[in-house]
Every structure is written in structure tokens, then in C-alpha cells.
Amino acid sequence: MTCEAVIGLEIHAQLRTASKIFCGCSTAFGAPPNTHVCPVCLGFPGALPVLNRSAVDFGIRAALALGCRVNPTSIFARKNYFYPDLPKGYQISQYERPLAERGLIEANADYWGPERDIRITRVHLEEDAGKLLHEGFADSERRSYVDLNRAGTPLVEIVTEPDLRQAKEAASFFGYLRELLMAMDVNDGNMEEGSLRCDANVSIRQLSSESLGVKVEVKNLNSFRFLERALDYEIERQAEMLRRGEPILQETRLWDSDSDTTVSMRSKEHAHDYRYFPEPDLPPLVLDDARVKEIREAMPEAPAAKRRRLEKMYGLARLDVVNLTIEPGLDGYFEEMVRHQANPREAKNWVLGAVRAKINEARVGVAQMRSALSPAALASLLALVEKGAISGAMAKGVFETMFQSGRSADDIVRDEGLAQIDDDAQIAELIAGVLAENGDAVAQYHAGKAATFGFLVGQVMKATRGKANPKRVNDLLRKRLDADR
Amino acid sequence: MSVRFSTAEVDAIAALARLELTDAERKLFARQLGDILEYAVQVQRIDTSGVPPTASLVTSHAADRHDAVAPSLDRMAALANAPDAAPDAGLFRVPRVIG
């Protein structure tokens, strides 16, 4: 029996606000426990939420980047459940009328695929819950500890249609979303700190079937590696059950990276158990066209669009463009060099070669690289190579000196006397000197011993301390010797 | 015509709300919830096609705030109302919830 996996993702991304979504507490990561809490995020009776305008703006930006339609009116709803990470007894989320719906990532929109359209079901705003600590205390057998700093942090939840078919594809898509949200400046992409999290819904069906199998939700997929491995495991687990004719239960499973398996967490709570209802403490979120338009116009360039533009504008190969855009900021470095008259091909070679190597070697970011050696400064080094003032090999050394000292290419080349000798008269003078000192070799050359010529070139190059163009020396020497014949 | 509300349904709702009910309460709430649903049935008979749903009676929408950090509570004050806390660790404490 041939079957295929059907996968949909639910991604939670923290929005880059300074304060929480419904109160003024800070969203900064790593503060001592329960120091970023107030009556609103602690759920004290009578405390009222007030919506953070920036959280909405970031949410709209994320929705637009995913090609969604922003609803003119969306409604906050209470999702009711009891768990100590949620002191109010409900999470403020959006349900029937989310912030935005019906987005699309088109097939082959970017270098990594996907090979088919990935539809975005919805994008909605909600608050994060607090953090539970289950281990590490003397009474951890009987007690859990609660830090509510995180409670009330603004999130967007992005839900895809079940359009993904393979674990690898899902991981690629999650990578695409991460890059997109970071480029949009909506999310910091930090999965270790929990700023970006992913759950997946997985089912299995026979290849020819149109209907979906029983859906299993897999949680705790908070790295690309875990996502791919957990999905591979879960797909195989379900396929095996199908082969044995065992029923697949609708449930939530947790990825356990220690055992490399998914383990059952709870049987699926049905949606109506949450008893969603409109949040009476918040008015409907009404967004006029002008606000959405303003956000759309201020959006940074999306990575996929940027890659297409770089390919077209500078005639670069796809792989080069991918390499330029994969480390944020390298593409900007490249484009600024070109703005300073660098040849795009040469600029690309330098950025992906020396600049990238230096960033890795010195363990600096692109921003630090810029302040040590600006794109404009590097462009002026390329200009020296292009006009023949120094050789490409010498430029590597000048690059190193520029990075270490912050001096300009012109200054280094002048102060260290590195400029190539491109004055024919000066080279001719050096040739005359070499010939005068090597009468025997000259005689041998004239007697027909061609190999001597190479020796004489070497002597002249030595006299120029390697700063003359060897081909030029070749030509001038040959001319001079033949004239003497 | 009254809407029937079974005591089993009352039990399900009570479980979600973590409420323990006596038999008398079960019967009472079954009748009262039935009455409420009956009222909802009456309301639903009204033709509302073409009327936008009302999620809120608040009509002013300029009800948001700028993204500015305001001082949080003092931690001891935050923990003070908790039934149980570990003030030295600065954490709330609850019965173990992972299983």
C-alpha cells in the first residue's frame, strides 16, 4: 500500500514589541522570574486589557508578507482552559474572525521550492502563556513552579493548510517563514529563547485518496532538525499502524529529542471544549484601508523577491544569490559596493570570498564587518585592481591590512610602496641594468639558448621587487633583446 | 416547548469549569440551563439575515495604546496574593501539573 503524509504547520512567532500585548510590562527575555508582571497579565480581578498598537502593526505586516487578506474587523476571543501557565483561566486569542486569512506561498516562489502552492489558512493575534518549571526543586515530585514574565507576550499564530507532504519540505517551509519574519523585522527568529515555535498536524492517507486521515498534532518541534526528525518518525509510526490495520488515534504527541520518538501527551481536546466566546473586555479590532496601506508601503523587501531582483539586476547565478542572502546583511554589503562603482561580478566574488571568510574567521557579524571595513572602502580597493595599480594577489594582502588597521586602500598601497610599476621607461631602465650585469646570459640567448630568457625575466622581476606586470616585462625584454641582435 | 438539558451535560460543563456539584444542584442547573437555551432558541427564530453580528457593544475603536514599557509590580507584591509561592526563587508554586 502506497501512502503519503499530509502535514500542516502551526507557527507561533513573538512580535518584536517592547511591551506586552495587553499591558505595559516589558517583553525582554531573561529577566528574573515574575519581575515583568502586573495586575493585567497576572489576571487579577477587575484588571482590563488595552491593546498594544504596535503588536497589531507587526501582525498586519506578517499577514501581508504571507499574502493574506487583512480582515477589516477582527474579534478577540477567550479560549478557556485551566492550566497554571495561564492565570486568567483563559487565553485572549482570535477565533471566528482572525486578523487575516487566505494567504499563499506560490509553488517555486523561491530556490528551495515548495513544488506546490502552500496556502496560509489564517494569521491571528494572541497572548503567550507563562513558563512552568517542573524540575530542579526539592519538591519537584509534588510541585510545579510558575514564572509569568512571558504571559501576555504578543504572538502571531500562523496556520497553514495541510499542503505539505514531506518532513523535509515542512522543515524547509519553516525555514522560509523564519527568514521571512526576520526580514520583515517582525520576529527575531530565536528558537532557543522560544521566540519562534512550531507545531505540526500530521496524517497519513492512501496516495489516491482525497480524504484526510486521522490527524495527530505533534508539539515541541523547536528546531529545524527536530521538526524534520519528529515528522519522519511520526509519518513512519502512522504508516506502520496503517499497515498493521490498527486505528490511528486523534491525539497530541510530544517530540522527545532524547529518545528520538514522539510520545502521547493527551487525547485531542475538541475545539468546543475551549468554549470560545468574544472577549467582552476588548472592542472588535477595526482596521481601515489607510492603516493597512501604510504598513504595506513601509514593508522591507521579502527575501524571495530580493533574490529574484538580485539575479536579474546584476546577472548573478542563483547559487551566488542564495549565498549572498542566506546570511542577513551580506546582500546589502554587496549592493553597497556596487553603488560605489564596483563591478557586480568582482564584488560578488569578494563578498562570498574574502569578506565571508573574514566574518567567519574573526567571528564577527556583518554589521561589525562593515564598521571595520566598509563596502565603499572595499569598492575602492577593487578599483585599484581594475585599473592595474595592484595585482589581484596583492589586493588580498591589502584587504587584510585594511581590516586590521581601518586605513584606506589608497593609503596602504602608497605608504607601503605596493603600486605596480606601470611606467615602461622605469621598467626599461631596470632591464638595462639587468642586461648589463648578465652579459653571459645575454650572449647565450643570442646564441639560441631560449631557456635563458626565462632566467632574465626572473632577474628583472626581482629588480622590480615583484611589482611589475610579468607580461609587460616579458614584452619589453623580448623587444630589447631582439633589438640588440 | 422547553429545551432538555441532561444532568450528563451539566456534569461535562462542570468538569470543564472544575466545579463539584451536588445532586440537587445538578437538577437545578439542568433546568436553569435548559431555560437559558430555550431563550436562545426564541432569539434564534428572529430573521437576522443582512444584520452584521455584534461582537461588542463598544462603538469607540480608538482603544489601543502605544508600545511603551510601564513599571511592573514589585515581585513580592505580585507573589503576595498567591495561595502558594517560593519567595526566595521569586516563583509561584502549584501542585505538580505534568503527568
Contact partners, residue A68, CB within 8 Å, separation at least 6: A100, A101, A102, A103, A120, A122, A123
A103-111 own/partner pairs: CB under 8 Å, 24+ apart: A103/A63, A103/A66, A103/A67, A103/A68, A103/A69, A104/A66, A104/A67, A105/A66, A105/A67, A105/A173, A105/A176, A109/A304, A110/A176, A110/A303, A110/A304, A110/A307, A111/A307, A111/A318, A111/A321, A111/A322
pLDDT band at A421 (very low <50, low <70, confident <90, very high): low
Domain ranges of chain A: 3-293, 301-415, 424-483
Nearest residue to A191 via CA among A366, A14, A7: A14
DSSP result, A86-118: -TTSEEEEE-SS-SEEEEEE-TT-BTTB-SS-E
CATH ID of A424-483, from 3.90.180.10, 3.40.640.10, 3.30.70.1140, 1.10.10.410 = 1.10.10.410
CA distances from A187 to A56, A193, A197, A426, A484 (A): 13, 12, 11, 61, 75
Determine, for residues A283 and B56 on separate chains, whether the beta-carbon distance falls below 8 Å: yes
- Note whether A80 contacts B: Cβ–Cβ < 8 A: yes
ipTM at complex level: 0.82
Best residue in B60, B84, B91 to probe A by mutation, most A CBs within 10 Å? B91
Determine, for residues A34 and B79 on separate chains, whether the beta-carbon distance falls below 8 Å: yes
Contact partners, residue A221, CB within 8 Å, separation at least 6: A197, A198, A199, A200, A227, A230, A231, A255
Best residue in B16, B60, B74, B92 to probe A by mutation, most A CBs within 10 Å? B92
- φ and ψ of B38, to 5 deg: -60, -40
Residue B23 C-alpha, separation from nearest chain A C-alpha, in angstroms: 23
pLDDT at B46: 92
| CB contacts, 8 Å: A275 with chain B | 16
pLDDT at A226: 87
Determine, for residues A148 and B73 on separate chains, whether the beta-carbon distance falls below 8 Å: no
| CB contacts, 8 Å: B14 with chain A | none
Contact partners, residue A240, CB within 8 Å, separation at least 6: none
pLDDT at B1: 47
Tell me the sheet residues that pair with A202: A7, A216
pLDDT at A292: 96
Of A43-52, A418-427, B35-44, B79-88, minimum mean pLDDT range: A418-427
Query: Model-level pTM?
Result: 0.80
State pLDDT tens for residues A448-461. Answer: 887 888 888 888 88
Domains and CATH numbers, chain B: 7-44 (1.10.20)
Mean pLDDT of all residues in chain A? 88
DSSP class of residue A280 equals T
Give the closest of A37, A80, A147 to B72, CB-based. A37
Query: What stretch of H or E contains A253?
Result: strand A251-256
Separation CA A12–CA A62 (nearest Å): 12
Query: What stretch of H or E contains A480?
Result: helix A470-484
pLDDT at B88 over 80: yes
Tell me the residue length of chain B: 99
User: What sign results for the dihedral spanned by CA atoms A337, A339, A345, A348?
Assistant: positive
Query: Taking CA atoms, what residue in B is nearest to A56?
Result: B64
Residue A157 C-alpha, separation from nearest chain B C-alpha, in angstroms: 20
State pLDDT tens for residues A77-131. Answer: 999 988 899 999 999 999 999 999 999 998 887 887 678 899 999 999 999 999 9
- Note whether A107 contacts B: Cβ–Cβ < 8 A: no
User: What sign results for the dihedral spanned by CA atoms A404, A410, A416, A418?
Assistant: positive
Determine, for residues A19 and B61 on separate chains, whether the beta-carbon distance falls below 8 Å: no
State pLDDT tens for residues B35-52. Answer: 999 999 999 999 988 887
Determine, for residues B96 and A142 on separate chains, whether the beta-carbon distance falls below 8 Å: yes
